[in-house]
Structure formats: C-alpha cells, structure tokens
Amino acid sequence: MTETTIRLATPEDLTALLSLSLALAAERGLDAPRDADDLMRRLFIAPGCRVLVARQGGAAVGHALLRLDSDTGRAGFDLAELFVQPLHRGQGIGRRLIAAARALTEAEGQVRLRLKNLPGARGTALRLGEGAAATGYPR
C-alpha cells in the first residue's frame, strides 16, 4: 500500500481540494464551491481557516477543514469538514486527519477541537489535555 502523508494545505493544493470539495458536496448535499476562486476565498483567504490534505502517491485522497471559533468563550477550532474519497475509506485516513487536526490545534495554542457537522460526531468536543479514551478519537 502507498504511504499516506498528511500536511497543512497550501494554495498549490487548490485543484486537488476543489475536486475533493465537489465530491463532498455531492455526497452530503452541501453547497459546492462555484470555482477555484470561490474555494480559494473559502479556504485560504477567510480568516481563521486551516486545511489539512491527505495524499497517497501524490494524489489527494482526503481533507479536513478547521475554522477558528472563539464565540463559545473557549478559543478553539471547529472541524467543519472531514472527507476521504470512497475508494480510500477504511484505511484510517479519517482518524489520522482528526489526529492531525488535534495536533495543529495544540500547536496553535488552542484549547479545544470541536467536531462540527460531521456524520456521527454530534458536536463532540475534544478538550485538549484529556485522554483519547474519553472521546474515542486518537490523541
């Protein structure tokens, strides 16, 4: 199996991220980005957005979108999107994207990562510093 790498996305990933975003929108009935410029504004120009991209053999196979949220009084990120292409599911890529999102949240000094609008998550919050056993997600 080809190694999967996960890293912070850059504007050079825009074409791959557009493909992933369109697939996510079609699968979940969400509003799709109109074009690459629209997605650029949503992901890289909007304040407080971070995007992680998972790649196998150079091809983008998944992504995670984090948005900074300080409205709750506890600064942190909302994991607003998590998507893995159907052919690559069942390999732990989603769990690795969540773990990378948690590591990014900690690295940026935030106190919480909330899983928002994700199937099965129901607004679960990962409070940093708590054990992974309490949340069911990797630390």
**Confidence check: pLDDT of 128 > 60:** no
| Mean pLDDT calculated for residue range 65-91 | 86
The whole-number pLDDT of residue 134 equals 34
**Confidence check: pLDDT of 138 > 60:** no
As a 3-state breakdown, the chain gives helix, strand, coil percent values, each rounded to 5, of: 35, 30, 35
pTM of the model: 0.82
Q: Are 61 and 51 in contact (CB under 8 A)?
A: no
Q: Are 60 and 16 in contact (CB under 8 A)?
A: yes
Place of tokens 């998944």: 62
**Least confident interval from 18-22, 74-78, 102-106, 130-134:** 130-134
pLDDT tens-place string over residues 83-123: 999 999 999 999 999 999 999 999 998 888 888 666 655 44
pLDDT tens-place string over residues 30-66: 889 999 999 999 999 988 999 999 999 989 999 999 9
User: H-helix or E-strand containing 38?
Assistant: helix 36-40
The whole-number pLDDT of residue 29 equals 87
State how far the Cα of 58 lies from the Cα of 102, in Å rounded to an integer.
24
Q: Are 71 and 91 in contact (CB under 8 A)?
A: no
State how far the Cα of 137 lies from the Cα of 87, in Å rounded to an integer.
22
